Amino acid sequence: MIPIRWFLNKRINIKLFISFTLSLVLIITSAAVASYTPGDQKPVPPDRKSDGGTTRGCSGGDIPLTVLASGNYVGRTTSQHPTFAWFVPRDSASKPMKFTIYEWVPSGKPKEVRNKSWQSSLGIMKLSPFSENEPGLEAGKEYFLQVVIQCDPDNPSGDLVDEASIEVIGMPTAVQSKLNKAVNSVEKANIYAEAGLWYDALDEALKLAKVSKLGEVGATLLKDLAQWEAPKTTPELPPKEREAINKRIKNLKQIADNAR
């Protein structure tokens, strides 16, 4: 009787373990689905958009150099020391690269506030350009970041370029209250995403990802971003700009799938 009872108990324990494991997987999967809701987005003014844009790659890559942020709207952050990220295609890796942040000056020339030069690497690259003991970016101001990969140092016109805008705002009280109760980066990413704080959400998501990858949360966020990238006034845009927006949406979705 004892062996039979032991066997029955063992089967019950195994079933309980499987049931617990499946429940845990469902909980984790549910928690990992970040939903980015930008809310009332501020469009990037036409005069701030670069004429250069992006190109495919140094020798014709499938996906171009792409900053992981909106190209049509001003992304928000509550951090004065934000983290930025971008995708580097295979044929554009191991090239000289420059990252620059500019402050938008009303009725004036953009002011450079930080730059960094190093080599590009395949996949997702991220950078926190300000250390915690530096002043960093200022709340209430708008900036734009520019990433440049030099395919041929002797031919600057062939550089790969992509840009994105960022606005630093104060931390909303409701968001801070939720963050105080958050226990991990998954929860924090969701809180930031639901509040429309793109750069904060992406920063938390990338903490969960492997080097050069987005991870599940990051990939979900990027697909959400792609969904919100098209402006409501798309039919009124010139064909060339409309085509550029559609290409960016496609690129963001491909990066989300390929760099997961």
Q: Residue 34 — φ and ψ, nearest 5°?
A: -80, 140
pLDDT at residue 24 greater than cutoff 50: no
pLDDT at residue 200 greater than cutoff 80: yes
Q: What is the pTM assigned to this prediction?
A: 0.84
pLDDT digits (tens, 9 = 90+) for 28-85: 444 455 689 998 888 888 777 665 445 556 765 678 999 999 999 999 999 999 999 9
Q: What dihedral angle (degrees, nearest 10) is formed by the CA atoms of 209, 213, 217, 220?
A: 180
Band of pLDDT at residue 18, cut at 50, 70 and 90: very low
